[in-house]
Structure 1
Amino acid sequence: MTTPDRYISRLRLTSFRNYTSAALDLDHRHVVLVGENGAGKTNLIEAVSLLSPGRGLRRAPFESLALSGSDGMWAVAATVETPFGPADMGTGATTDTAAARRVRINGANARSVEEMSDYLRVLWLIPAMDGIFSGPAADRRRFLDRLVTTLIPGHSAAVGDFEKAMRQRNRLLEENGDPAWLSAIETQMAETASAIHFARADSLAHLQGVMAANVADTGFPEALLELSPLFEDSVPGTASALEAELVGRWKTARALDKAAGRTTFGPHRVDLAVTHKDKAMPAGLCSTGEQKALLIGLVLVHARLVAQMTGITPLLLLDEIAAHLDPRRRAALFDALDKLRTQCWMTGTDPVLFADLGARAQRFAVDAGQLARMPG
């Protein structure tokens, strides 16, 4: 296995989930975590996912992350090996409110959580995402926004800002609020909505191009991707024009939205359509195995896109990834990971599932929040 440009060489947890404390010292190889359900495998990779913008792979409130019975404080710290030398990164609960978190990089407070993306990018697949193609549109939007955030770190904050402003608008409509204040909120919404829309559309266009050129190397099927339009008619092609269009339409729709009790159109209503290219079939109608293969292929290709566009190949967190793959698919996955040249963290209940990785992985047993290095 070729040494990746970036990987975690040291991980420390303090009062996080079911870990009073935990320490891993690592080399560049993949990381396999083996243990029974409930032992803390997913908790460990959730901690790694917090070394990126957003709320991590479970999207959990920060105040829920602390060890039960503790004082509410928790911390995750890592050393990331980069082409420019090691970088020390950490995140944890703030002292003033457990609902927020702070980030420190190389001993100094970071200006924003997005600053972590200068050193590390993170992507993940978890079992809860297995039904994403047949589930509600909100799940696909969250999946898409995670992909976009790995490319554009500020995207997650833009989505959060839009949703906060939209909730304010909904309350003002319900309370017959000041029209001037409504206009100000709608202007703010339009600015973030435009940024969200173009970030999604541009990222999908780049992803589709990279997929067409590279998916054969992954051993997984190619997907066709399409974002549903913001409106039934045409969408303006520039940010300023789209902002003006949204402001006008939201003003016109105030009575309708008040009656509906929600904002009836905007980036929070779009959907991601995914089609199995070879079968010309919507992903949601494919078999469970085919949907899993499409999802894995999407993430593998997106990792290549992030590497091409940012120069940083993302770390991959794959929770229970091997359990539902046949031997051929598992071998294809392991080979594709080697081609990516990244450190991948994988969890499972049976070490046999990872036997084909051989010396390409370092293995740890997880038992009730305790870690032990396994031979091999």
Structure 2
Amino acid sequence: MYKDDILNLIQQSPLEIDTEIQMTGRPPTMANSEFLTNKEQGDWAEKVVYRAINEFSSDYFAVQYGRSDSIVAGDDGFADFYMEYQSELNTIGKRPDLLIFKLTDFPDRDVDIENDEHVRKAVVALEVRSSSFLIDKYTAFMDERQQEAIKNCTDIRKNLLEGELGNLLKRKNSTIYKLILGATNETFKELDFRRPSWSLTQELRDLTDLLKGLKENIKTLHKRDYLSITPKMEDIALVNRWIQKYNVKHFYLQVFFDKAYAISFQDILELVSNDENEGNNFSIERDVKNQGKTTIKVNVKIGKEVIGKIDMPEHKAAMKELDRGRLLFYVTFEGGKGYLDNEILMRDVINA
């Protein structure tokens, strides 16, 4: 059974996930403009996916299931809302944003999301995330940056080995010389040496500068060069809690401003259980954009491109006046049609 497979993966995971976690803490007292913009963007992304599924799929339909309350910190009643939400997390776990159902199960699409038996009939649950990037442009930029760094490493290697500086390096530090001698475009990233600070002669200063340049370009090659799907560590336990109650396959779906990618919760757990994947396919970081919470960043290209095109939405400035008279200015998003790849939805999500 699906929920048993998920629980087994979590229990065997090196992440030491606390499946009994209880969410506590005081409600925040004040929202800010960045939070409101991020919330608007997240709501927009969810609508893009919701409309894409319901427009392009003839056999399945999506239902909004996650919390969509517009109340924010600083509004009347927010403290009660926040504590109620914490209680829900501690009881049933984290609700996914969307549920997908077979049209044959609900011909009139009359799903009652508060009816547990209805929820259990969902074929897929989607947690929708948004990202402020054009993924194609980002990928092209990063590819160019990587290739430039490799070219720089190759040029520096040539200068070091083919000139008098190579003989000087070989005499001063044969270990570094041998490392550079054996390096290729594929292995520059693996070079690791402490840069010396030779300065007695001009030749030594030139050699030091070349080694400094090599180290800087190797550092560029080490930088994370992929956009990511970003489940927070604490969310793993809360998503699992919901899965244990409803036994519905769970997917993360990352929406960019040009495309959207899906990856299953099960695939994420399997990926992070293998330490050979760390650094290339995922990283674990404390993310300042997620209140400093520990976040798993999974290479989005491991996922499936379930929405191959998204039209750019209109964006407008908006203002929210809080009770005490403080004004918050933020951005809203409207439109932006998503074009679902129904074949990928069926093969890699519905029937996965």
Greater relative CO (CA pairs within 8 A, separation 6+):
1
State the TM bucket, normalised to the shorter chain: under 0.3
TM-score for both structures, normalised by structure 1: 0.21
Q: TM-score, normalised by structure 2?
A: 0.21
